[in-house]
Structures are given as C-alpha cells and as structure tokens.
C-alpha cells in the first residue's frame, strides 16, 4: 500500500507519498478502513518537525483522523461491517491508503454529509466536545472566548457554542478570518495583532465564563485576567510556550479553574477515554451535524501527493477551518 513517509524531520518537503509494507489484518476490536480522505491537524505539523512524537504503540505515520469505507473487521467487532461508510479518530496512521482503528473510535459519516468532508470532523469534534461540554460544562447564556477562532478547532467550537446557546468571542490575526468567524456566529471579534483581547472583552462583558486556549504560557496571565467569576480556562495547546507564572490570588478571587488537556494520549477505554468521548459525540453532536446546525469548515481539499502544500496552507494565514487530503475517490 501507499502512505506518507518522512525523510527525517523538518519542513513540508520531508514528506513523500511512497509505497510501504501492507498493514496486518485488523486485530481483536479493530476495524480496517480503506481511506478516502484524511484531515490535516496542527499536531501533524509538529510531528513532522520532530516536536510531537506519537504515543507508545501508535503508528509513526502522520494523520489523526480519516473517513472512508470499512474493509474488514477484527474479532469481537459487532457494530461495524464491511461497506459501512465511516470516519475515525486515530492516534496516528491516517495519511495512508488503509488504516486499522479501534472500533470504539469510529463514527458513521453523518447523514447528508460528503464522505471527504467527514474527514475534517473526528479530531476537532472530540477536542471541542470533550473540553467545552464534558470538562467545562458549557451551557446556554455563557460567554466563550476562543483563541484562534479561524482554526479548525475554532470554527467548530463557534458552531457548537452557538448551538448550545452560548455567546462567542474570538481572537484571530486577520480581518478575513474574523469575518468568517462572524458568519459562523461569533459576536465579539478581536484582532490580536492590533487589539488587547482582555481590554476588548472586559469592555463588553464582566469576563469569559470559558476560555479555549491554544497558546499556553504566553497567554496564561492575561487569560486569568479575562476570566469571569467561576470561569474555566481550558488549555489545549502550547503554541506560546510551556512555562509561565500565574497570580494565584487573581485566580482564587475569581474562584477560577485551569484545565490542561490532551486528546491523543487519552486511553482507549474507561473514564475520560476516547471511547467515552466518541459515544458522547454520536449521541449529542452527530444529530446537530446531520441537521446542518454544525458543519465541517474545510478551507481546501488537496490530493495526498500535494501533502507538502497542504501543510504549508494550514500553517498560513490563507486557510480558515480544516485542510483535507484526498487519498482515493469516494
């Protein structure tokens, strides 16, 4: 079979679409998927640079989410059968013609959705729902501040928040991205290159009930200042570094909380597992996607042979939402 391989770590040019050894048959509890499309995530860019190694036992091949058709099922799998059209959350291996995935991390392609577009869903949907709803308890009437509103995570989070009745503020680095965030339902738009997000936010609200942050250290102090009383800061990325000081007095005075989470290294089963998150998505989020309330935002779909350009695009100011790699015809 063919998959994207790495010729060392570095820029997009180290990736090649090349012939590799065939995968073994799916093991117990696994499903083999003939991949139609794979979503591109910032974690892939970091792994390509040698900055985000896969967890022990996971595939070294890039790719954390795919859509496609079930080709074969392993022993004990009862919910899926060959021919089912699905999408899946992975720990790796998605940039390939075929992947073996745990049956508990597979979802049906939502009704009415193009199979290629479904490749843009599992990673962002699991990240957003597990952090905003399952962890922070987001509900109607709250204010959510999203850093990086034009990203795949951001564009999805805006829609989920609006569907649940929350108000949304976003930061982004261009008017182009802010305009798209407005179209998706954000009402407070902050250009972080020109404005201080705390000043803008506090001019309109007492603070944010929930902050979804991808920056980490560089935004920690200001995020705590931006929190409302009983607010939740949820850190899911460290683009701004890993070490910072925080004024605990401010945090305590607001009865605030800070959560730092990771999706890729969660266990497959048990409390807080990927299986638990996928079950919640199917029950609560998938109906919202099927009826069009929440839609995948795909900036571009490129053939997998253009994987280097896909990485460059995702890392540029040109894309809003996700970039998808087309592996084979649907």
Tens digit of pLDDT for each residue in 84-113? 999 999 999 999 999 999 999 999 999 999
The mean predicted confidence, pLDDT, of the chain is 97
What is the distance between the alpha carbons of residues 197 and 289, in angstroms, rounded to a whole number?
31
| 146-156 pLDDT per residue, tens | 999 999 999 99
Strand partners, 191: 172
Q: Which CATH architecture does the domain made up of 124-260 adopt?
A: 3-Layer(aba) Sandwich (3.40)
Task: Quote the strand ranges of the chain, DSSP E.
Answer: 2-6, 15-19, 30-40, 65-73, 85-89, 98-102, 106-108, 143-147, 167-172, 188-191, 208-213, 227-235, 257-260, 298-303, 322-326
Which band of pLDDT confidence, cut at 50, 70 and 90, is reported for residue 26? very high
Instruction: Say if residues 15 and 309 touch (Cβ distance below 8 Å).
Output: no
User: Which CATH topology does 2-121+296-326 take?
Assistant: Quinone Oxidoreductase; Chain A, domain 1 (3.90.180)
Beta bridge partners of 199: none
Q: From CA 122, how far away is CA 279, in angstroms rounded?
A: 12
User: 142 versus 317: which is more confidently predicted?
Assistant: 142
pLDDT confidence bin for 39, thresholds 50/70/90: very high
Fold match between domain 2-121+296-326 and domain 124-260: no
252: which residues sit within 8 A by CB, 6+ positions away?
Answer: none
How big is the CA angle at 64 (ends 59 and 68), to the nearest 5 degrees?
100
Averaged pLDDT, 268-296:
97
Q: For residue 317, what pLDDT is reported?
A: 87
Whole-model pTM: value is: 0.96
Q: Give the span between the Cα atoms of 245 and 316, in whole angstroms.
A: 30
Q: Residue 330: is its pLDDT beyond 90? A: no
Cα–Cα distances in Å, from 259 out to 117, 210, 216, 243, 311? Answer: 30, 11, 11, 15, 29
- Residue spans of the domains in the chain: they are 2-121+296-326, 124-260
Nearest to 109 by CA among 98, 117, 118: 118
Q: Let me know: does 88 contact 33? Beta carbons within 8 Å.
A: yes
Neighbour tally for 227: CB within 10 Å: 26
Residues 6+ apart with CB under 8 A from 287: none
pLDDT tops 90 at residue 318: no
Phi, psi of 264 (to 5 degrees): -60, -35
Q: CA 102 to CA 96: how far, in whole Å?
A: 16
């Amino acid at each position: 079979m063919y998959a994207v391989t790495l010729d060392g770590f570095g820029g997009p040019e180290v990736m090649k679409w090349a012939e590799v050894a065939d995968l073994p048959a799916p093991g117990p509890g696994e499903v083999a998927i003939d991949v139609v499309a794979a979503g591109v995530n910032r974690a892939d860019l970091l792994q390509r640079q040698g900055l985000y190694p896969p967890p022990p036992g996971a595939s070294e091949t890039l790719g954390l989410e795919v859509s496609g058709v079930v080709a074969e099922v392993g022993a004990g799998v009862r919910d899926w059968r060959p021919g089912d059209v699905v999408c899946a959350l992975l720990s790796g291996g998605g940039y390939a013609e075929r992947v073996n995935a745990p049956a508990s991390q597979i979802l049906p392609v939502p009704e009415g959705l193009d199979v290629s577009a479904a490749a843009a869903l599992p990673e962002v949907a699991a990240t957003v729902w597990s952090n905003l709803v399952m962890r922070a308890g987001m509900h109607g009437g709250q204010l959510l501040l999203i850093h990086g509103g034009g990203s795949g995570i951001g564009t999805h989070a805006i829609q989920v928040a609006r569907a649940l009745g929350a108000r949304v503020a976003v930061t982004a680095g261009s008017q182009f991205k802010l305009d798209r965030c407005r179209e998706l339902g954000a009402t407070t738009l902050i250009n972080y290159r020109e404005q201080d997000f705390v000043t803008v936010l506090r001019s309109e609200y007492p603070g944010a009930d929930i902050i979804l942050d991808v920056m980490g250290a560089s935004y920690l102090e200001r995020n705590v200042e931006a929190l409302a009383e009983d607010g939740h800061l949820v850190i899911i990325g460290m683009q701004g570094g890993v070490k910072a000081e925080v004024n605990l007095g401010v945090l305590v005075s607001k009865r605030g909380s800070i959560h730092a989470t990771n999706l890729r290294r969660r266990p497959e089963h048990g409390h807080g597992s990927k299986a638990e998150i996928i079950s919640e998505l199917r029950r609560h989020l998938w109906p919202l996607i099927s009826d069009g309330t929440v839609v995948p935002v795909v900036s571009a779909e490129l053939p997998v042979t253009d994987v280097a350009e896909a990485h460059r695009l995702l890392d540029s100011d040109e894309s809003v939402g996700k970039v998808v790699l087309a592996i084979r015809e649907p």
